[in-house]
Amino acid sequence: MKRFFITIEYDGTGLVGWQRQDNGPSVQQYLEEAALALTGQETLIQGSGRTDAGVHALGQVAHLDVPDKFDARAVMMGLNAKCQSDKVRVLSSREVAPDMHARFSATYRAYLYRILNRPAPAALLRHQVWHIPQPLDVDAMQEAANLLIGSHDFTSFRASICQARSPVRTLDRLVISREGDEVHIRAEARSFLHHQIRNFTGTLALVGKGRWTPQMVQDALLAKDRSAAGPTAPPQGLYLTDIRF
Amino acid sequence: MKRFFITIEYDGTGLVGWQRQDNGPSVQQYLEEAALALTGQETLIQGSGRTDAGVHALGQVAHLDVPDKFDARAVMMGLNAKCQSDKVRVLSSREVAPDMHARFSATYRAYLYRILNRPAPAALLRHQVWHIPQPLDVDAMQEAANLLIGSHDFTSFRASICQARSPVRTLDRLVISREGDEVHIRAEARSFLHHQIRNFTGTLALVGKGRWTPQMVQDALLAKDRSAAGPTAPPQGLYLTDIRF
């Protein structure tokens, strides 16, 4: 058997998320069924990040083991040919050492959150952005974001169901930018807590609207209490963009 | 009554196109029903361009007449609130002189055609681009496009069902560019024939793949015969982007 990393794009709309669950179709299930159809063997496909229902990926990475006769191109083309959903596509594939693990070997994860910031709701992007009609103050959002960068106890920005042992994470970058009608939030870290970026976004949106000051974001962080921070932004604006090893 | 121009974004997926038809929902129908719900009056909404089934718009313009009590903001907000499809959104509205006509007063129309040019099919953009896996030669496509600019008899690039009286049009710009994984074709003219941009695109794609030379595009133009040019590109890559008056 040979181990491959595959890079995956998916549209999370209508899916229960990355991970297999009983209540609906998942990205993992579609890929594992495609791998079974391709290789004739039950195949576990392990992802780098477990995205939630409705969250998208431009560059999820997963690993799988396949018989020696497959090369990288055959893995990519074969999985795409066998995949039963057009919402899930393998962009590329490369062979890696057998001890490489998509989740545990990953040292860097990057996400993008897209806010559509204009008076009218989204038509074309209605499943791909969060619509906020009020003008957002990007400079104030960046000022608040800067207070979150570094190593902190992020209990205030962590879902109550988060299974991570420690609430401490090191946030390397949190960059807010205006891109035409959109406001983009880019977050980079070795790893994130459950809902961390959506909770950052919901809180930073309060700052962007002028309802919170940047200082209030720092107070929320220091409170180490989920109820001290802002609401969880909806899933459809979030994209897993990049994983590195 | 006052006349307004409205600028509209729509996702053409699953719609029969701009114009009302018996075989399914149209953008015009959704907007006319929203105007009826808003004003209590049967309202004709006339668009600048009649896009086909599956074709999108970022900046379609239409006109409608509403009672004097409505201002521009009420027209935009009211139509969005009453519209029964989230695929259709009014971006803005402005009052115009009563003799302004969205179709007949328009002097400039701009379209964008998006090709996803990478080995893997689209996941997120599967209804918003045309996927071509082979690498396209953008320089050759531009060389061919340059031969189409100007005033010509475009019979070779016109749908057989096109109702325009003359096949002569003046093409002002036809610009090909690479944007990351995508190849964009931007076309600008006072007006276009039915399927003209999709037929340009299908033909230019042959050049991009190296199957046609630019000279063969000129030969096709001069043949004044639809069968001399390339195939019609699929609708989902096409966007009506801008109308001017």
Residue-wise pLDDT tens digits, A97-109: 999 999 999 999 9
Q: What percent of chain B shows pLDDT beyond 90?
A: 98
The whole-angstrom distance between B125's CA and the closest CA on chain A is 8
The whole-angstrom distance between B22's CA and the closest CA on chain A is 23
Q: How many CB pairs under 8 A join A and B?
A: 64
Of the candidate ranges A172-186, A200-214, B76-90, B153-167, the one whose mean pLDDT is the lowest: B153-167
Specify the CATH number for A2-96; select among 1.10.10.60, 3.40.50.1110, 3.40.50.11900, 3.30.70.580. 3.30.70.580
* CA separation, residue B50 to residues B18, B21, B53, B173, B185 (Å): 5, 12, 10, 20, 19
Provide DSSP, A127-169. Answer: TTSEE--SPP-HHHHHHHHHTT-EEEE-GGGS-TT---S--EE
Specify the CATH number for A108-244; select among 3.40.1710.10, 3.30.70.660, 2.30.42.10, 3.40.50.300. 3.30.70.660
Among A52, A137, A219, A242, the active-site one is A52
A108-244 and A2-96 share a CATH fold: yes
B52 is catalytic: yes
Measured over all CA atoms, what is the biggest interatomic distance in chain A, rounded to whole angstroms? 59
Do the beta carbons of residue A198 and residue A238 sit within 8 Å? yes
Residue A163 pLDDT: 87
Cβ-Cβ contacts under 8 Å, B9 against chain A: 120, 122-124
Compute the average pLDDT of residues A64-69: 98
Residue B110 pLDDT: 98
Compute the average pLDDT of residues B11-39: 97
Tokens of A171: 């946030």
How large is the ipTM?
Answer: 0.92
The whole-angstrom distance between B116's CA and the closest CA on chain A is 12
Cβ-Cβ contacts under 8 Å, A86 against chain B: 121, 123, 126
Residue B136 pLDDT: 98
β-bridge pairing A130-131 and A108-116: parallel
Alpha-carbon distance of A138 to B161, in angstroms, equals 50
Interface test with B, best of A87, A89, A236 (most B CBs within 10 A): A89
Nearest of B208, B107, B220, B104 to residue B153 by alpha carbon = B220
Cβ-Cβ contacts under 8 Å, A10 against chain B: 123-124
Alpha-carbon distance of B108 to B97, in angstroms, equals 19
Of the candidate ranges A127-136, A157-166, B17-26, B27-36, the one whose mean pLDDT is the lowest: A157-166
Tokens of A52: 């939630």
Cβ-Cβ contacts under 8 Å, B89 against chain A: 120-123
* Domain edges within chain A: 2-96, 108-244
Residue A244 pLDDT: 97
Compute the average pLDDT of residues B157-166: 91
Do the beta carbons of residue A167 and residue A160 sit within 8 Å? no
pLDDT-based confidence at residue B228 (cuts at 50, 70, 90): very high
